[in-house]
Amino acid sequence: MAQLDTVPSEGSTMLNISGFYFQKNKAAKINDNVIYWRCQLNRDKSVNCKSTCKTVDGLLVGKPSPHNHSSNSENTGRVLKFRDACKKRCNKENKLSLNKIYLQELGNAVR
């Protein structure tokens, strides 16, 4: 079993496995520690990737099934982290404008 790289995304978490991003698909009915994931591009009609994987207690079991596309760019993870940082700051820092938070976080992301 391999340790996973997770990335926050819209109140959820995505897995990054060798440059491919997976979204949570479902949890097992009997055991909440078993989670099934599917490729982030599953719903993209132009790609419709069917790759899936499974985690148990936060660890990858086996290898993901094959993808029908090349791996996502490194920028995908950076964009997800940037978006999450902006959302968190907007919820915490009500006195700062969205524009100011965006520009500050953009400056942090570029460094």
Alpha-carbon distance values, 44 to 14, 48, 58 (Å) = 16, 5, 26
What's the pLDDT score for residue 37? 93
Supply the pLDDT for residue 76. 67
What does pLDDT average to in each consecutive run of 10 residues of the chain (111 residues)?
Answer: 65 82 80 85 85 89 88 67 81 86 81 67
pTM above 0.75, yes or no: no
What pLDDT score does 1 carry?
47
Burial (CB < 10 A; 0-12, 13-18, 19+), residue 37, is: buried
Contacts of 91 (CB under 8 A, 6+ apart): none
pLDDT at site 27? 72
What's the pLDDT score for residue 53? 93
* pLDDT for 10: 67
